[in-house]
Chain A
Amino acid sequence: MTRRIVGPFNRVEGDLEVTLDIVSGRVQAAYVNSPMYRGFEQILVGKHPQDAMVFVPRICGICSVAQSAAAALALAQGMGIQPPPNGRLAANLTLAAENLADHLSHFYLFFMPDFARDGYRDHAWFADAQARFKAVTGSAAAEVLPVRAKFMNVMGYLAGRWPHTLSVQPGGSSRALEEAEKLRLKILLAEFRGFLENTLFGDSLEAVAALDSEAVLNAWMEPRAGRADFPRFLNIARSLGLQHMGRATDRFISYGAYSDGTTPLFPAGLWAEEKLQPLDIGAIREDVTSSWMAGDGALAPAEGHTLPQPDKAEAYSWCKAPRLSGQVVETGALARQMVAGHPLARDMVNIHGASVTARVVARMLELALVVPVMETWLRQFLPGDAYCLQSHEMENARGIGLIEAARGSLGHWLDVRDGKIYNYQIIAPTTWNFSPRDAAGEPGALEQALVGLEAEEGGNAAPLAVQHVVRSFDPCMVCTVH
Chain B
Amino acid sequence: MKGLNLLWLQSGGCGGCTLSLLNADCRNLIDTLKDFGINLLWHPSLSEQSADEANRIFDACANGETKLDILCLEGSVLKGPFGSGGFHHRTGSVSMMSLIERLAKVAQYTVAVGSCAAYGGVTSAGINPTDACGLQYDIDAQGGLLGEEYRALGGLPVINIAGCPTHPNWVLETLVAVAGGEMYEDNLDVYRRPRLFADHLVHHGCKRNEFYEFKASAHKPSDLGCMMEHMGCKGTQVHADCNIRLWNGEGSCTRGGYACIACTEPGFEEPGHPFGMTPKVAGIPIGLPTDMPKAWFVALAALSKSATPKRVRENAVADHQVVTPANKRTRLK
Contacts and interface: CB of A to CB of B under 8 A. Distances in A.
A186 to B, nearest CB: 14
Nearest to A62: B19
Contacts of B174: none
Contacts of B92: 5
Contacts of B10: 14-15
Given A38-B123, A58-B122, A135-B46, A164 B248 contact: no
Nearest to B127: A42
A48 B258 CA distance: 17
A99 interface: no
Interface size class of A (residues with CB under 8 A): 35 or more
A391 B47 CA distance: 44
Nearest to B84: A310
B255 interface: yes
Nearest to A6: B51
A10 B256 contact: no
Interface stretch (B26-34, B100-108, B281-289): B26-34
B258 A38 contact: no
Interface size class of B (residues with CB under 8 A): 35 or more
A434 to B, nearest CB: 16
A167 B27 CA distance: 29
Contact of B251 (A141, A155, A462): A155
Contacts of A109: 45-46
Given A9-B51, A166-B258, A39 B253 contact: no
Most chain B beta carbons < 10 A, residue from A5, A145, A175: A145
B164 interface: yes
B4 interface: no
B81 A35 contact: no
A148 interface: yes
Given A55-B122, A64-B16, A141-B30, A174 B51 contact: no
Interface stretch (A190-198, A323-331, A381-389): A381-389
A165 B258 CA distance: 8
B158 to A, nearest CB: 21
B15 A478 contact: yes
Interface in A42-75: 42-48, 50-51, 53-55, 58-62, 64
Given A161-B251, A310-B86, A7 B91 contact: yes
Contacts of B261: 54, 166
Interface string A89-109: 000000000000000010001
Most chain B beta carbons < 10 A, residue from A46, A154, A163, A308: A163
Given A17-B91, A388-B220, A156 B127 contact: no
Contacts of A110: 45
A136 to B, nearest CB: 6
A134 B11 contact: no
Interface in A440-482: 460-462, 467, 478
Contacts of B130: 37-39
Contact of A310 (B27, B52, B81, B222): B81
A88 to B, nearest CB: 13
Nearest to B322: A384
A142 B256 contact: no
Interface in B249-304: 249-259, 261, 263, 274-276
B48 A134 contact: yes
Contact of A36 (B87, B91, B164, B165): B87
Contact of B11 (A36, A47, A50): A36
Given A7-B51, A35-B89, A390-B220, A156 B247 contact: yes
Interface string A140-179: 0111011011001111110111111111010111111010
Given A38-B130, A47-B126, A61-B19, A156 B78 contact: no
B146 interface: no
A8 interface: yes
A149 B132 CA distance: 31
Interface in A203-236: none
Contact of A43 (B86, B129, B219, B253): B129
A117 interface: yes
A167 B47 CA distance: 33
Contact of A61 (B46, B165, B222): B165
Nearest to B76: A38
Interface string A112-146: 01101100000000000000001110000111011
A11 interface: yes
Contact of A152 (B23, B31, B54): B23
B93 to A, nearest CB: 9
A13 interface: yes
A38 to B, nearest CB: 5
B248 A10 contact: no
B18 interface: yes
Given A9-B50, A176-B320, A461-B52, A160 B251 contact: yes
Q: Which 8 A-B pairs have the closest CB atoms?
A: A160-B256, A61-B16, A156-B251, A174-B257, A39-B129, A153-B249, A43-B126, A161-B247
Given A62-B19, A184-B250, 11 more contacts: A7-B91, A8-B54, A17-B90, A36-B11, A36-B87, A161-B242, A166-B256, A166-B261, A387-B222, A390-B221, A461-B52
5 contacts: A9-B51, A10-B45, A17-B90, A152-B23, A184-B250
